[in-house]
Amino acid sequence: MALRDMERDMAGCSRCSSCKWIPHSQVKSWRFASGCPSSTRHHFHAYSGSGKMIMGLSLLHGRSELNDGVAEIIYNCQLCGSCQVSCQVYRDDIDLSDVLLELRGKCVEDGFLILEHMEMLQSMKKEDNPLGMLKADRGRWAEGLDVPDIGQRQVEVLFHAGCRYSYDEDLRETLRETISLLSGSGVDIGIAGREEACCGGRAYELGYQGEMRNFADDMAGRVKASGAAILVTACSDCYYTFKYLYPKRGLDLGVEVLHVTELVGRMIKEGRIEPAGDVPMRVTYHDPCHLGRRGETYKAGWDGGDKLQRPVRFKQSGRMGVFDPPRDIIRALPGAELVEMERIREYSWCCGAGGGVLEAFPDFAAWTAADRLEEAAATGAEALVTACPWCVRIFRDTVTETGVEMKVYDVMELLSASLGGV
């Protein structure tokens, strides 16, 4: 796909500006009515989803040229997908999210690059992760764990830790507890250890679309070698890559892909995991964009012409993402009380870390996270719970920087606490 393939979508934008807000029917207060972090922060229409649609059409028709200013606007976007969801409510005959991805691709093609993104890509190529860490250290998080490496034997479930969880020492314990819980509950689970590599989704989102292929092929090879029927990850970005980006590029991993909350939620329902210990806490849940609205399975492109005519199964509305399993886990915890924020599920506000914004525009990323923490505090919750290591990382860092009173947990941490693990 290229920008020209989205011409009808871009030309179809009616400039109604609905993509800047959550849908009107969902607005509960003016304070938390915004949906697009980029236009809310930067106060210009150009930063909104619509602004980028108009920009893309103008570039395609040669009415304007790509320059540093335009590229900076294109990169100042978390690719959170809120604009796509809101636009679909009013205009389900056009698509927006893929335009944002294709604009990134054009920036890279035309040489408008971001230094921090280039460094991430170099690290991915050299060390198989975008964090500048050593490949040799990838498997250290699992040292001493009683879990098979797929290099030793085949397994039913392959667990993909992802880059953030593999290298972030503050988060590692959660991952170790998760693996112990699953294998202790009878799941035949294995890991790839130091042989695991990045899923490659970051490269695609940063605009280096072709680079994802190598990582995807590598991933497919590991899945096949493992003999697994299910691929599980605890990272929402990896989940999105497996569910959306790989199929979009024609790659089928040939296994069921689950987020860890889907697997655990299923096991709780089956009585295979029984939370017992009290977690006396009032919590609110943050939907990670790439697990929620962007975690929706890729639906094949519509080649029937007018998108107004396309059946619902071809529409990427964001409603079929993973929203309930993490909430079900929280509700299963004795003593825990779940209170919801104003912007939830497919209308959630982004944590700020996505789309390469955390690395290239850290102030914008932190501002976005601070806005969400304010919304969480307004519920009266003492803790914000989420299901993505990137969200946990930025929220914890923002709590430290701002001094706001809010604990931040991955939902698997609370489950482990209930089971006596931590």
Does residue 384 touch ligand SF4 according to CB under 6 A?
Answer: no
Q: Does 87 bind ligand SF4 (CB under 6 A)?
A: yes
Near ligand SF4 by CB under 6 A, which window of 77-85, 230-238, 340-348, 385-393?
77-85
Q: Is 83 in the site for ligand SF4 (CB under 6 A)?
A: yes
Nearer to ligand SF4, 98 or 188 (CB): 98
Q: Does 219 bind ligand SF4 (CB under 6 A)?
A: no
Binding of ligand SF4 by 385 (CB under 6 A): no
Which one, of 401, 318, 356, lies nearest residue 38 by Cα?
Answer: 356
**37 counts as binding ligand SF4 under rule CB under 6 A:** yes
Q: Cβ–Cβ contacts within 10 Å for residue 170, how many?
A: 11
Say if residues 259 and 387 touch (Cβ distance below 8 Å): yes
Binding residue for ligand SF4, selected from 81, 190, 288, 352, defined by CB under 6 A: 81
Q: Candidates 12-20, 66-74, 158-166, 216-224: pick the segment binding ligand SF4 (CB under 6 A).
A: 12-20
In the list 42, 71, 91, 390, the residue contacting ligand SF4 (rule: CB under 6 A) is 91
313, two tokens: 């199964």
What's the rounded Cα separation, in Å, for the pair 352 and 369?
A: 5
Q: Which stretch binds ligand SF4 (CB under 6 A): 16-24, 131-139, 291-299, 410-418?
A: 16-24
Parallel, antiparallel, or unpaired for β 281-285 and 256-259? Answer: unpaired
Decide whether 38 or 166 has the Cβ nearer to ligand SF4.
38
> Alpha-carbon distance 195 to 344, whole Å?
37
Q: Among residues 152, 248, 158, 154, which one has the least CA distance to residue 200?
A: 248
**77, 107, 329, 344: which one binds ligand SF4 (CB under 6 A):** 77
Which residue of 34, 38, 123, 166 would you call a contact of ligand SF4, by CB under 6 A?
38
Compute CA distances 410 → 17, 54, 344, whole Å. Answer: 34, 38, 17
State how far the Cα of 99 lies from the Cα of 101, in Å rounded to an integer: 5
For ligand SF4, the closer CB: 42 or 138 = 42
Q: What is the C-alpha end-to-end distance of the chain, expressed in Å?
A: 47
Rounded Cα–Cα distance for residues 3 and 66 (Å): 13
Q: Is residue 14 part of the contact set for ligand SF4 (CB under 6 A)?
A: yes
| Residue from 26, 34, 50, 316 binding ligand SF4 (CB under 6 A) | 50
Paired tokens of 205: 């989102």
Whichever of 50 and 178 has its CB closer to ligand SF4, that residue is 50
**358 touches ligand SF4 (CB under 6 A):** no
Interaction of residue 101 with ligand SF4, rule CB under 6 A: no
Which of 22, 53, 333, 351 lies at the binding interface for ligand SF4 (CB under 6 A)?
53
Tell me if residue 256 falls in helix, strand or coil.
strand
Q: Please tell me the distance from the alpha carbon of residue 419 to that of residue 274, in angstroms, as a whole number.
A: 8
Asked if 16 interacts with ligand SF4 (CB under 6 A), we say yes
**Mask 234-253, x = binds ligand SF4 (CB under 6 A)?**
--------------------
User: Other CB atoms closer than 10 Å to residue 382's CB: what's the count?
Assistant: 16
Q: Is residue 13 a contact point for ligand SF4 (CB under 6 A)?
A: yes
Beta bridge partners of 282: 337
Burial of 327: CB neighbours in 10 Å, binned 0-12, 13-18, 19+: buried
Residues of this chain that interact with ligand SF4 (CB under 6 A) are 13-19, 35-38, 48-50, 53, 77-83, 86-87, 91, 96, 100
